[in-house]
Amino acid sequence: MDLATAAQNGVSVSWRPSVEFPGNLYKGEGIVNGTPEQVWDCVKPLAGTLRAQWDENVNSFEIIESLTDTLLFSRTTTPSAVMKLISPRDFVDLILVRTYEDGTISSNAANVEHPSCPPNPGYVRGFNHPCGCFCEPLPGEPNKTSLVTFFQTDLSGYLPQSVVDSFFPRSMAGFYANLEKAVKKFFG
């Protein structure tokens, strides 16, 4: 198994080939200053939440259909990236949100097709293979959260694999740094 790891500012990003598609499964791990609820409020992938206000890789979230209060269809749009080598994308996912007895909060998602959300002009339809994030309480550290993220995203389009391979680890490390700033800004 090929496995690569990068570390930056206390954030570890590792990756290996995905079994879901011809790309990589990326795992990010880091400690964020903030309670699990505060961190969750900043990362939850739902319409009208804080995420689109601070995450440079998200333009918007739209709830297409709610099946329950924890299971929904969502559309996410992203801006262009890497000096516009990566054009804007949209993703349609089924998202399950769970809260566990130990206080862990997770979102788990996978791409789906939904009749109310055909591809949009101006966006390349990307595909999130099973992915998610886990906001876990740190024992003895009530104001810190262990955040573990998993991504295996097929950006689609005609991107050289080298562009994708260089984008994701750097983007994930930046996500953690920006999240730390967002928690401080919104919850001080």
| pLDDT mean over 97-110 | 96
Domain boundaries, the chain: 37-187
Residue 6 has pLDDT above 70, yes or no: no
Q: Is 122 helix (H, G, I), strand (E, B) or coil?
A: coil
Structure confidence by residue, pLDDT tens digits, 37-56:
999 999 998 878 899 899 99
DSSP state at residue 184: H
- Which of 8-12, 16-20, 40-44, 45-49 shows the lowest per-residue confidence on average (mean pLDDT)? 8-12
Average pLDDT over residues 110-131: 96
Residue 38, SS3 per DSSP: helix
- State mean pLDDT over 3-14: 70
> What region does 19 belong to: left with phi over 0, alpha with psi -120 to 50, or beta?
alpha
Orientation angle between helical segments 161-187 and 36-43, nearest 10 degrees: 130
Residue 134 to residue 145: CA distance in whole angstroms? 9
Q: What is the CATH number of domain 37-187?
A: 3.30.530.20
Q: Which residues face 110 on adjacent strands?
A: 94
User: Whole-model pTM?
Assistant: 0.91
Confidence label for 9 from pLDDT (cuts 50, 70 and 90): low
Cite the beta strand spans of 40-86 per DSSP E. 60-66, 71-78
